[in-house]
Amino acid sequence: MDYVMVKYIKNKPKLKNPILIEGLPGIGNVGKLAVEHLIDSIKATKFAELYCKDFPPQVFINTDGTTELVKNEFYYWKAKEKKQRDLILLTGDYQGLSSQGQYELCEKILDIAEEFKVKELYTLGGYGLGQDISSPKVLCAATNKNLIKNIKKQGAIFKKNEPGGGIVGASGLLLGLGKIRGFEGVCLMGETPGYLVDPKSAKAVLNIIMNITNLKVNLSALEKKAKEIEQIAQQLKEIETHTRDKSEELKYIG
């Protein structure tokens, strides 16, 4: 097996001027949740699997007892209306574990994007704040100033007065490497506490994606998941408070 290998499970789809949207695991799993929800909602079709020697050395066990190697997956969807565009959607189990692996992985993803004549990339992820957020905003970064201006019209924000930062992982590398190869790209990052899976932030990111793609997606499943996560977070806080109080009590007694 090559360092990065792509296996087509269907004939390569014929797409017209498609957009690539990436959502791999990351902070709060925001991008992964958003893309997987989009795939399920629009009933996108899987057409390729990507395997990499930099993924963890393991297989997943399915409910029927069979095993499968960890991987990333490519899906496609063809536009139904004039204002829409064909889509290539990327999600998966892992990102690369090393710097070399991340670069090799992103270069292969861009090779596939070039093969399908993709010109625009949208990478999705989380912007960790380390605190609870009632209404997460979506931050953006892009390969040029005009894209920043356009994406702000769709509801994203750009904090230009803050010190410069960075985007770690595939969401950033795809933009950086893509820019060298002539792609235009935008990264959308939903604000998130960062310590739990965050459907609320994924919903905020999907709202922006729907504006960009002229798609309408039912978000009720994400809203339900968000409420469940909030309950879990509250329970964890109560456990933490109880543990801290007990610890303080023991110190006082001693």
In the chain, where the domains are located = 4-219
Spell out the CATH class of 4-219. Answer: alpha beta
Predicted TM-score (pTM) above 0.75: yes
pLDDT in tens, 89-125: 999 999 999 999 999 999 999 999 999 999 999 999 9
pLDDT in tens, 73-90: 999 999 999 999 999 999
**Burial of 149: CB neighbours in 10 Å, binned 0-12, 13-18, 19+:** exposed
Residue 194 pLDDT class (50, 70, 90 cuts): confident
pLDDT of residue 167: 92
